[in-house]
Amino acid sequence: VNIFERKQEARTTFTKVVDVDETSSDPEPWGRNFPVQYESYLKTADSTRTEYGGNHALPPSKLEQDPWLKRLFAGYAFSIDYREARGHAFMLNDQEVTKRVTDVQQAGACLHCHASIIPTYRRIGLEQQGIDPTPAVLAKNFNQEAVMAGFEAVSRMKYEVVYAELLQTPDGTDQAEAEDPHLGHAHPVSCVDCHDPKTMQIRVTRPGFIQGIAKLATSDDPLPHLPSIQKWRDSESDEPYDPNLLASRQEMRSFVCGQCHVEYYCANKMTLTLPWSNGLKMEDLEKEWDETAFPEGGEFYDYVHKETGTKVYKAQHPEFELWSQGIHARAGVSCSDCHMPYEKQGATKYSSHWVRSPMLNINRACQTCHKVPESELQARVDIIQNRTRDQMDRAAVAMTDMLDAILQVQQNGATEEQLEPIRALQKKAMWRLDYISSENSKGFHADQEAVRVLGESIDYSRQAQAAAYKLDLK
């Protein structure tokens, strides 16, 4: 700090039309205070899509586009129904109607990332602490302790049960009526999930993320793109790393997304977990799963691969993790810079809350920084994505060749002892392929890293295949 540094001027205060508070999971009243942001938020119900899409009632099925996914996920819910992502407005609905939920028993933790669930966590947490969660108490403050307690309490409960709890929590608009047992509606991600209702400052609210990032801070992964973590490490504080207190605004502009766009475990054998205790690289995450045991005992796995009987891991949308390995993160470019670019309206600029593919908005999302024509930026992204795609197809062929080879030796009587090293290779191969194919940028978020991970997948698949042939059991 020096003499030149003037006090930062604060934002001009907004005209509050209505009051919003910690129970306001309905975005509508917020929208009256912030009409431009709200209008753009509502547009997430629009479903224009880029090349890898179309226009459908439900988004296109990834299983149909890439039939090898069915073999990859054999025996797991993802092999029944797995689609492309679409706008935030759909998140709750798409979860309710997926066959993964309608045909399979899922855990309450699923709602952690698909509903505006924090007030419900708080309510249940307060109840557990013996406090009466009146609407006034619920509305008063964030109460992280209660939120965490509620989260722990419901994570492993049944999906339907937790969904019903959502409807028992006031949402800031609905009033309980005689015939309607609801206290509130269930909402997809909403203002209160990312904003402090008093100051409008962005914040993170998701217990899974708060725990995950605190674990990450204690790791020795370098993380140059998250300087506040390095500062916390240097301070040798006794308090866990708290993003809401310590992160810079630019970091927060990615953390709000990192609440959900991350790899997780989310089923009924253990609380929702983000595997970040060793770092954010693909190998770091794998290492945590390798070191994890279920509370009830037994080594961690996501599913038993049906064709081969191997216990394997499932990777889900590691956008935050892959972005962390890329040049944009390194250059301080946040998720919001590209996915929520500033727009002009009249005499002011605002963040577009129409969170979507930046390729539908190249002008604002990219051209402020990259002064090249739209067509050129599109071409650059195409090259990166096509290269990733080619390597992914190659990895998929290797994976299916591996499965065929394993199946054959199993038919010919391979013993468990013989299979063990092969299963280990299979697990690594499948995790790596799934990691990049379930990441939604088709390699853009970190192009070289994406192709590196796929190269490793190929290596392990082919090694497993070779090892199976070597058993000499044809």
Q: Which does 434 bind (CB under 5 to 8 A by kind): ligand HEC, its own copies, Ca ion, none?
A: none
Q: Which does 365 bind (CB under 5 to 8 A by kind): Ca ion, ligand HEC, other proteins, none?
A: ligand HEC
Q: Does position 372 bind other proteins by CB under 8 A?
A: yes
Q: Does position 456 bind its own copies by CB under 8 A?
A: yes
Interface stretch with other proteins, choices 165-173, 299-307, 341-349, 435-443 (CB under 8 A): 341-349
Helix axes 144-154, 159-167, angle to 10 degrees: 140
HEC readout, the chain: CCCCCCCCCCCCCCCCCCCCCCCCCCHHHHHHHCHHHHHHHHHHHCCCCCCCCCCCCCCCEHHHHCCHHHHHCCCCHHHCCCECCCCHHHHHHHHHHCHHHHCCCCEHHHHHHCCCCHHHHHHHHHHHCCCCCCHHHHHHCCCHHHHHHHHHHHCCCEHHHHHHHHHCCCCCCCCCCCCCCCCCCCCCCCHHHHECCCCCCECCCCHHHHHHHHHHHHCCCCCCCCHHHHHHHHHCCCCCCCHHHHCCHHHHHHHHHHCCCCCCEEECCEEEECCCCCCCCHHHHHHHHHHCECCCCCECCCEECCCCCCEECCCCCCHHHHHCCCHHHHCCCCHHHHHCCEEEECCEEEECCCCCCHHHCHHHHCCCCCCCCHHHHHHHHHHHHHHHHHHHHHHHHHHHHHHHHHHHHHHCCCCHHHHHHHHHHHHHHHHHHHHHHHCCCCCHHHHHHHHHHHHHHHHHHHHHHHHHHHCCCC
Token pair for residue 147?
């939120």
> What residue has token string 């909403």?
190
Q: Does position 156 bind Ca ion by CB under 5 A?
A: no
Q: Does position 136 bind other proteins by CB under 8 A?
A: no
Interface stretch with other proteins, choices 106-114, 118-126, 241-249, 407-415 (CB under 8 A): 241-249
Interface stretch with ligand HEC, choices 167-175, 248-256, 418-426, 460-468 (CB under 6 A): 248-256
Q: How many chain residues are in contact with its own copies, going by CB under 8 A?
A: 36
Q: Does position 405 bind its own copies by CB under 8 A?
A: yes
Q: Which does 16 bind (CB under 5 to 8 A by kind): Ca ion, ligand HEC, other proteins, none?
A: none
Which residues neighbour 127 within 8 Å (Cβ) at sequence distance 6 or greater?
Answer: 133
Q: Which is closer to ligand HEC, CB of 402 or CB of 454? A: 454
Q: Which is closer to its own copies, CB of 360 or CB of 397? A: 397
Q: Which does 396 bind (CB under 5 to 8 A by kind): ligand HEC, Ca ion, other proteins, none?
A: none
- Residue from 81, 286, 434, 447 that binds its own copies (CB under 8 A)? 447
Q: Which is closer to other proteins, CB of 149 or CB of 359? A: 359
Bridge partners (DSSP) of residue 465 are none
Residue 253 · residue 241 · CB < 8 Å: no
Q: Does position 407 bind its own copies by CB under 8 A?
A: no
Write down the least CB distance from residue 373 to its own copies, Å.
11
Q: Does position 18 bind other proteins by CB under 8 A?
A: no
| Interface mask toward other proteins for 431-450; x: CB under 8 A | --------------------
Interface stretch with other proteins, choices 23-31, 94-102, 270-278, 344-352 (CB under 8 A): 344-352
Q: Which is closer to its own copies, CB of 228 or CB of 465? A: 465
Query: What part of residues 368-407 is at the interface with ligand HEC (CB under 6 A)?
Result: 368-371, 377, 380-381, 384
Q: Which does 298 bind (CB under 5 to 8 A by kind): Ca ion, its own copies, ligand HEC, none?
A: none
Interface stretch with its own copies, choices 8-16, 150-158, 360-368, 381-389 (CB under 8 A): 381-389
Interface stretch with Ca ion, choices 14-22, 59-67, 84-92, 310-318 (CB under 5 A): 310-318
Query: Cα 334 to chain center, whole Å?
Result: 15
Q: Which does 225 bind (CB under 5 to 8 A by kind): Ca ion, other proteins, its own copies, none?
A: other proteins
- Residue from 88, 261, 305, 314 that binds Ca ion (CB under 5 A)? 314
Q: How many chain residues are in contact with Ca ion, going by CB under 5 A?
A: 3
Distance CA 169, CA 183 (A): 6
How many residues are present in the chain?
A: 474
- Residue from 232, 264, 303, 435 that binds ligand HEC (CB under 6 A)? 264
Q: Does position 454 bind its own copies by CB under 8 A?
A: yes
Amino acid at 12: T
Applying CB under 8 A, the residues found at the interface with its own copies are 224, 327, 330-331, 372, 379-380, 383-384, 387-388, 390-391, 394, 398, 405, 443, 447-452, 454-456, 458-459, 462-463, 465-466, 469-470, 472, 474
